[in-house]
Structure 1
Amino acid sequence: MHMPQNRNPNMKYLATLLLVLVTILGSVINGYDCKIVQFIFGDSLSDVGNNEYLPRSLAKANLPWYGIDFGNGLPNGRFTNGRTVSDIIGDALGLPRPPAFMDPNLDEDTIMNSGVNYASGGGGILNETGGYFIQRLCFDKQIELFKGTQEMIARKIGKNESRKFFEQSRYVVALGSNDFINNYLMPVLHGLGVRKLMVFGLGPMGCIPLQRVLSTSGNCQDKTNKLAKHFNEATDKMIAELSTELPGVSYRFGDAFDVVNDVISNPYRYGFTNSDSPCCSFGQIRPALTCVPASTLCKDRSKYVFWDEYHPSDSANQIIAKELIKKFKFTRVNQDDSNAGAPSPAPAAVSPVAEGPSADAPSAHN
């Protein structure tokens, strides 16, 4: 895939935070009552289990304590203790939670009723991003799988109706951090029948615990955050240009940097006591990179902005999702859908294992 010509040349030096949340506008097609569903593309910020079906992948969330505050409290493929931002936004909009594409039970009826999640931990825009994870679904692969999904639906309801089905889609983009942290890249935004697109920008990735612990001061890495801001400015301009150049499209860019930065910079305002350290850590060993059964959990997970070195906690995701819903004026689309099949957060956020003596000490560096 290639970028349109005459784009800002600095874009190839920037990294992106993409999760693609595709909202299909409902209609009745050849007797099928097509509810509004989601197609999600992204990385570990939105993976709901695809990597669990990749046998050689080193990027998996299949160990305790991942998923501890979600449903039955067991690992479910999400790289956090609870819900992702897309889970929460989708629930608020009345959208069904789409299953992982790699789920062996996925079929056409499931796709038309629930959508699909293609997100893969370690994946990125560049094919080489996350190569040290051995196996993951890069963005090109996710798009390839989406094409296959379109072909599958075309066989189910016919090409003409399938084309209408996808041309009526609304697309919201907000994909993970791997390219940003590990590679520079050229984002690719031109999708199969995309007419209505919302792109979420990068957050302050220089403030995640991993970036802080790798700095000499323990503070946010300003250089990394400046790259994120630069990317957001350039992408905003590009999206505006695409909106004027491509006929019949409505493309919008949603800069989420300030929302996330405010949560990190002013945690007490949002009910947090710690915004610079992971809730799940391996004693004094930093960075621990992942959460494992032998890790120590903070006493109260609801007070931590970050779950591990990379990923926000369920509580932080809830705050971020709420602010994005308010900022972009999202409204409920499936009024009669109670999301009865969507697991709720587990009832307790108190650690089941012993925590260190200063696990919940107030901390709000920025």
Structure 2
Amino acid sequence: MALLMFFAITFTPMLHGAPRVTACVPAIYVFGDSLADVGNNNHLEVAEINKANFPHNGVDFPDRVSTGRFSNGYNGIDFIAKKLGFERSPPPYLSLTNVTQMLIGVNFASGGSGVLDTTGPGTITFSAQIAYFRNVSRALAEQMGDELAKTRLSESLFLISTANNDMFAYYYATGAKNTTSNDHFISSLVDKFENHLQSLYQLGGRRFWIAGAGKIGCIPFLRSRSTSGGCVEELNEMARRFNEVAMPRLNQLSLQLEGMKYSYTNYYDSKMALKMTPGALRFKELTSACCGGGKYNGASQCTLNASYCSNRDEHYFWDWFHPTQAAYKLVAQVAYNGTKGISTP
């Protein structure tokens, strides 16, 4: 299902203090990891690998600001927000100072986090992100009343991008060589993910967009550590299995929970996405990062001392883990348009 098919009418906020926008939804609530983080980790004491509030990150953002996005500019959440009619994506939760800032939504995502509480020590776990959202929902109810807040949340869009870091952590802990153990882990991971979705539903969420797992074994970081420069197929297989298990679970969940609607974008077949999406052919470099160091520019982090490419719009990867602004834009386009064979249902 395309995101645009969720919404038949536009929404113009009429609340006192609300930003004057005409959008498809009243608000966007974002949960997940570094692919969705817009600055929450700036406020945390976490390892530098889980921060991006320093150059060269943001080199293509307005005024070249390093906002905490793991990108040379905007990320996918920004582009989805713009496509839905917002001037900007919602602010990071840890930067909020008043309730008015919550009216177009809130971003709870934290780089390095995962579905499991054990993933990404020091980051905002998915459980903690949901707890923060509970605070926001209470604040909205206090400001506008229970019924109006309930309606607002039911019409809002919940964006979720997570699980990649859980699979990375599992791979580095076990080597992911045993298929039976891998399948058990993926099943338990989807169980926990499903529990989180149910929690968000109980707190008022009804409309969900979920980013599926891509070929995480092919990021520059892993290629740089391979003698052949190839992908880590054990991780790719885990990502494929995650999508395979998650999609029917979500369908079943939507049948059980009244009013739940969802769109799941399966980014695993990235080549299909590139072939089927207008403008995607401009990517001339699909393996090496634009910014970093060493083999494939994936051996070290993109920092002020690292070199970075001039043809950033032709690179799919910005740094050793994350896409460029141009690639994020493609990701948003695929999600919004509901590219056949990639987005379900």
**Which residue of structure 2 aligns with residue 364 of structure 1?**
none
1:57 Cα deviation from its structure 2 partner: 4.8
**Which residue of structure 1 aligns with residue 169 of structure 2?**
182
In the alignment, the residues of structure 2 paired with residue 93 and residue 49 of structure 1 have an alpha-carbon distance, to the nearest angstrom, of: 21
Is contact 1:29-1:161 (8 Å) kept? no
Q: Match of 1:167, SS? A: helix
Equivalences for residues 215-294 of structure 1 within 5 A: 215-259=226-270, 262-263=273-274, 270-283=281-294, 287-294=298-305
Provide closer, same or farther for how the CA distance between residues 260 and 127 of structure 1 changes in structure 2, counting only shifts above 3 A: farther
Is contact 1:67-1:81 (8 Å) kept? yes
1:80 Cα deviation from its structure 2 partner: 1.0
From 128, 136, 150, give the equivalent of 1:163. 150
Aligned identity (percent) is 31
In the alignment, the residues of structure 2 paired with residue 324 and residue 146 of structure 1 have an alpha-carbon distance, to the nearest angstrom, of: 24
Provide closer, same or farther for how the CA distance between residues 33 and 261 of structure 1 changes in structure 2, counting only shifts above 3 A: same
Q: Match of 2:197, SS? A: coil
CA deviations on 1:122-156 (whole Å, 9 max, x unpaired) are 1111111012xxx2111001000000001111111
In the alignment, the residues of structure 2 paired with residue 288 and residue 216 of structure 1 have an alpha-carbon distance, to the nearest angstrom, of: 13
Report the aligned-residue RMSD. 2.9
Is contact 1:203-1:261 (8 Å) kept? no
**Which residue of structure 1 aligns with residue 79 of structure 2?**
88
In the alignment, the residues of structure 1 paired with residue 39 and residue 18 of structure 2 have an alpha-carbon distance, to the nearest angstrom, of: 27
Equivalent pairs counted in the alignment come to 301
Equivalences for residues 199-210 of structure 1 within 5 A: 199-210=210-221
CA deviations on 1:273-321 (whole Å, 9 max, x unpaired) are 2111111122559643421111011232122111111000111112222
Is contact 1:307-1:313 (8 Å) kept? yes
Q: Match of 1:189, SS? A: helix
Gaps of at least 5 residues in structure 1 are 1-21, 330-366
Q: Match of 2:93, SS? A: coil
**Which residue of structure 2 aligns with residue 340 of structure 1?**
none
Gaps of at least 5 residues in structure 2 are 1-5, 171-184, 341-345
Q: Larger deviation: 65-74 or 198-207? A: 198-207
Query: Is the helix fraction higher in 1 or 2?
Result: 2
**Which residue of structure 1 aligns with residue 175 of structure 2?**
none
Is contact 1:126-1:138 (8 Å) kept? yes
Pairing 1:198–2:209 present: yes
TM-score when normalising by structure 2: 0.78
From 45, 58, 65, give the equivalent of 1:67. 58
**Which residue of structure 1 aligns with residue 308 of structure 2?**
297
**Which residue of structure 2 aligns with residue 120 of structure 1?**
110
Question: Residue 309 of structure 2 aligns to which amino acid in structure 1?
Answer: C
From 101, 109, 113, give the equivalent of 2:100. 109
Pairing 1:44–2:34 present: yes
1:249 Cα deviation from its structure 2 partner: 2.4
1:179 Cα deviation from its structure 2 partner: 1.5
TM-score when normalising by structure 1: 0.74
Provide closer, same or farther for how the CA distance between residues 263 and 32 of structure 1 changes in structure 2, counting only shifts above 3 A: same
In the alignment, the residues of structure 2 paired with residue 100 and residue 223 of structure 1 have an alpha-carbon distance, to the nearest angstrom, of: 34
Is contact 2:32-2:114 (8 Å) kept? yes
Provide closer, same or farther for how the CA distance between residues 33 and 320 of structure 1 changes in structure 2, counting only shifts above 3 A: closer
Pairing 1:141–2:132 present: no
Q: Match of 1:48, SS? A: coil
**Which residue of structure 2 aligns with residue 77 of structure 1?**
68
1:65 Cα deviation from its structure 2 partner: 0.2
Q: Match of 1:72, SS? A: helix
1:210 Cα deviation from its structure 2 partner: 1.4
In the alignment, the residues of structure 2 paired with residue 328 and residue 273 of structure 1 have an alpha-carbon distance, to the nearest angstrom, of: 22
Is contact 2:214-2:269 (8 Å) kept? yes
Is contact 2:158-2:207 (8 Å) kept? yes
In the alignment, the residues of structure 2 paired with residue 273 and residue 166 of structure 1 have an alpha-carbon distance, to the nearest angstrom, of: 41
Provide closer, same or farther for how the CA distance between residues 55 and 170 of structure 1 changes in structure 2, counting only shifts above 3 A: closer
Question: Residue 189 of structure 1 aligns to which amino acid in structure 2?
Answer: L
Is contact 1:209-1:278 (8 Å) kept? yes
CA deviations on 1:64-104 (whole Å, 9 max, x unpaired) are 10000110112111011111111112112212411111115
Is contact 1:84-1:314 (8 Å) kept? yes
1:261 Cα deviation from its structure 2 partner: 6.2
Q: Larger deviation: 170-179 or 221-230? A: 170-179
In the alignment, the residues of structure 1 paired with residue 92 and residue 301 of structure 2 have an alpha-carbon distance, to the nearest angstrom, of: 21
